Amino acid sequence: MSNELLALGVLAVACLFAAAILFRSWRLRRTRPPLIGAAAVLAMGAIAISLALLGVPYKPVVGAAFIGAMLAILASARMERRAR
């Protein structure tokens, strides 16, 4: 139980931190990809945490959310670079 709560806490902090970085990038450049990426990261984190709290095994859920968040950040950076 303690590992599960720790993993969910780390996932929440990581998603908030990544979304904050993307939001800052959006505020500086005023392009759409970082804002979409921030929303995607927050949504993935919220869905993963709610699934884990509903009883789904937390390891696959947290792992998939971390990978999805990293992919959203990478896709946001790639789209933003193309937009320039």
DSSP 30: -
pLDDT tens profile 36-80: 889 999 999 999 999 998 989 988 998 898 899 889 888 888 887
**Vertex 26, ends 21 and 31: CA angle to 5°?**
145
Q: Which residues contact 11 (CB under 8 A, 6 or more apart)?
A: 45, 48, 49, 62, 65, 66
Per DSSP, which regions of the chain are E strands?
A: none
pLDDT bracket for residue 4 (50, 70, 90): confident
pLDDT for position 43: 94
Confidence of residue 83 (pLDDT cuts 50, 70, 90): low
Cα–Cα distance for residue pair 73/5, rounded to 1 Å: 25
Domain that holds residue 55: 2-83
pTM to 2 decimal places: 0.84
Whether the per-residue pLDDT at 12 is higher than 70: the answer is yes
- Give the distance, in angstroms, between the CA of residue 67 and the centroid of all CA atoms in the same chain: 9
Number of domains into which the chain is organized:
1
Look at residue 1 in the predicted model and tell me its pLDDT.
67
